[in-house]
Amino acid sequence: MTDAASTLANLAEGRLDARDLMARTLDRIEASDLNAVVSLRNRDDLITEAANPRPGPLSGLPMAVKDLVETAGLRTTYGHPAFADHVPATDGPTAAALRAAGAILIGKTNTPEFGLGSHTFNTVHGTTRNPWDRARSAGGSSGGAGAALAARILHLADGSDMMGSLRNPAAWNNVFGLRPTVGLLPQPAAGDPILHPLATDGPMARTPDDLELLLSVLAPDYRPEGPRAARIGWLGDWGGAYPLEDGIAALCEAALDGRADPLAPPFSAEALWESWTTLRSFAVWQKMKPLWSDAFAAQSKEALRWEVARGQAVTLDDLTRASAIRADWARRFAALPVDVVALPAAQCFPFPAEWVHPKEIAGQAMDSYHRWMEIVVPASLIGVPAVCVPVGFRDGLPMGVQLIGKRGRDSDLLHLARTLHETTRWADRAPPEV
């Protein structure tokens, strides 16, 4: 499969028929055992739609939208059994942007229940498998998107990132994922437009150029800028605060190829975790409050019940302290003597698909369902951009490095991702069965 930019050029210039592209895409989905694309629309309807695609930068390109994104007329389950038959009447901002750009929405990409946990499984659609090893997790919460890209089922995929959900599955599937600066993508009309949300939608792709293409569709205000020199600080395991499986740090450092200088931990990792878990649990509870009941809780997985219980217990003093920590970290990050900081995108390689989550990493016990992804918190907490770049493999399993930039400097990260990709070409490698 060619990259998205080449495929779109072939469609625009008549060298490729959108109906043929649609048929081949559906054939790949039907032949796949990954469970990456779910709620697939009727084949005849899709080929009919492909006969006269809407004009735009993605005209005629088949796309599946993450199952947390509302899609008009297309089942959206959030991975929760209470929504197994839910069909929204309107599109969310991401789906609306894709349709307006001419993409043809064929179905959804699988996600864990309400996006909680970096392992894509739920009771509605089941478990998504990693194309590099089907016995392993594809990551999450954009695991269906990452697996579909790696398996060459899709050219582009949207995702969302609260706690690494664009970065972890990108690392585990050997693709690129960008968590944009919070606010760059249009937000839903409801809710407080000023209060910093913890999550944002964003693009995933197999090349940095495709990543920027999709970003430009999802974020109309994005303006690419010319490359400029970036000073990179390597934070590794944050001075020992983040346990890493063997081989991860070495792969990341090798891919950086001397471009980064060691950087001392600039902030207390435990303070970041305290702030993050308080704000995250409170945000989850506020989102779930209109739905919550004993019956709904009984259908929900343990992670959601745990977050809701913690969120219900959050006090005003807790929120004030968490917000103060976040503000201190934002000021400290803005003042760092580097433009970009680099950390591994995950603390372990893809784990067995039957697990719920790892119980320990490098001999250190994990005390929650998400502690094993703590390394993504520094970017998520303050809403700065972060991109995952593939860095290679250990025993056939992929890994990535996350490059975290200053607020609004998404373009800098894409240029840096492009530079690393041109040097290593890890992302050109396809899974053995593709």
- 293 and 260 housed in the same domain: no
Q: Which residue in the block uniquely carries the two structure tokens 């005849």?
A: 44
Q: Is 321 helix (H, G, I), strand (E, B) or coil?
A: helix
pLDDT at 88 over 90: yes
Give the model's pLDDT for residue 120: 98
Annotation says 293 is catalytic:
no
Res 195 pLDDT > 70: no
Kindly tell me if the per-residue pLDDT of 406 is higher than 90.
yes
DSSP element (H, E) containing 130: strand 129-130
287-293 average pLDDT score: 97
pLDDT at 183 over 70: yes
The band of 188, judged by pLDDT with boundaries at 50, 70 and 90, is low
Residue type, 3: D
* DSSP annotation of 203: E
Tokens describing residue 273: 């975790």
Residue 321: Cβ-neighbour burial (10 angstroms; 0-12, 13-18, 19+): middle
State the average pLDDT over residues 33-47.
98
How far apart CA 274 and CA 423 sit, in angstroms, is 38
Distance in angstroms (rounded) separating the CA atoms of residues 289 and 242: 33
- pLDDT band of residue 193 (cuts 50, 70, 90) is low
Would you place residue 190 in the very low, low, confident or very high pLDDT band (cuts 50, 70, 90)? low
Any domain includes 330: no
Collapsing DSSP states into helix, strand and coil, what is residue 325? helix
How far is 183 from 205, CA to CA, in rounded Å?
A: 21
Average pLDDT over every residue of 219-224 = 95
Tell me the pLDDT band of 35, cut-offs 50, 70 and 90: very high
Same domain, 276 and 134: no
- Whether omega for the bond prior to residue 59 falls within 30 degrees of 0, making it cis, is no
Question: 368 catalytic, yes or no?
Answer: no
Residue 323 lies in a domain: no
Q: How far apart are CA 376 and CA 214, in angstroms?
A: 22
pLDDT band at 189 (very low <50, low <70, confident <90, very high): low
Whether 400 is covered by a domain: the verdict is: yes
- Is the same domain home to 153 and 209? yes
Residues 298 and 344 in one domain: no
Chosen domain end from 283, 317, 351 = 317
What's the CA gap between 284 and 326, in Å, rounded?
A: 18
Residue 327 included in any domain: no
User: Domain ends where: 317, 350, 381?
Assistant: 317
Whether 322 is covered by a domain: the verdict is no
Q: Are residues 258 and 282 in the same domain?
A: no
CATH number at 42 reads 3.90.1300.10
Per-residue pLDDT at 229 exceeds 90: no
Inter-residue contact 47 to 60 (CB < 8 Å) = no
Q: Are residues 261 and 274 in the same domain?
A: no
pTM above 0.95, yes or no: yes
Cα distance between the two ends of the chain: 10
Catalytic residue, candidates 118, 137, 141, 300? 141
Parallel/antiparallel/unpaired status of strands 129-130 and 126-127: unpaired
Distance separating alpha carbons of residues 25 and 413, to the nearest angstrom: 30
Q: Which sign does the torsion angle of CA 340, 346, 349, 350 carry?
A: negative
Q: Single out the catalytic residue among 32, 39, 66, 281.
A: 66
The candidate with the shortest Cα–Cα distance to 110, out of 64, 66, 146, is: 66
Mean pLDDT score of the chain: 97
CA 127 to chain centre: 17
Pairing state of beta strands 104-109 and 37-38?
antiparallel
Are 177 and 54 within one domain? Answer: yes
Q: Helix or strand or coil: residue 381?
A: helix
Is 66 one of the catalytic residues? yes
Residues 64, 169, single domain; the answer is yes
If asked whether residues 194 and 98 sit together in one domain, one would say: yes
Query: Is 257 a member of any domain?
Result: yes
What's the alpha-carbon Rg for the chain, to the nearest Å? 20
106 and 14 assigned to the same domain:
yes
Q: Which range of residues forms the domain containing residue 279?
A: 269-317
Residue-wise pLDDT tens digits, 93-104 = 999 999 999 999
Predicted confidence (pLDDT) per residue in 361-390, tens digit = 999 999 999 999 999 999 999 999 999 999
Residue 229: CB partners within 8 Å, gap ≥ 6?
none
* pLDDT for 192: 65
| 365 within some domain | yes
Provide the sign of the torsion angle of the four alpha carbons 377, 217, 400, 21, taken in this order: positive
pLDDT exceeds 70 at position 194? no
Tally of structural domains, the chain: 2
At 341, give phi and psi (nearest 5°).
Answer: -110, 145
Q: Indicate the helix (H) or strand (E) that contains 249.
A: helix 248-256
**Does the pLDDT at position 114 exceed 90?**
yes
Residue 209 lies in a domain: yes
Same domain, 143 and 280: no
Quote the percentage of the chain above a pLDDT of 70. Answer: 98
Q: Rounded to whole angstroms, how far apart are CA atoms 423 and 103?
A: 31
CA–CA gap between residue 150 and residue 153 (Å, rounded): 8
Quick check: 352 pLDDT over 80?
yes
Lowest-confidence region among 46-50, 82-86, 227-231, 328-332: 227-231
Active-site hit among 137, 165, 281, 300? 165
CA–CA separation, 138 vs 173, rounded Å?
Answer: 7
Residues 289 and 250 in one domain: no
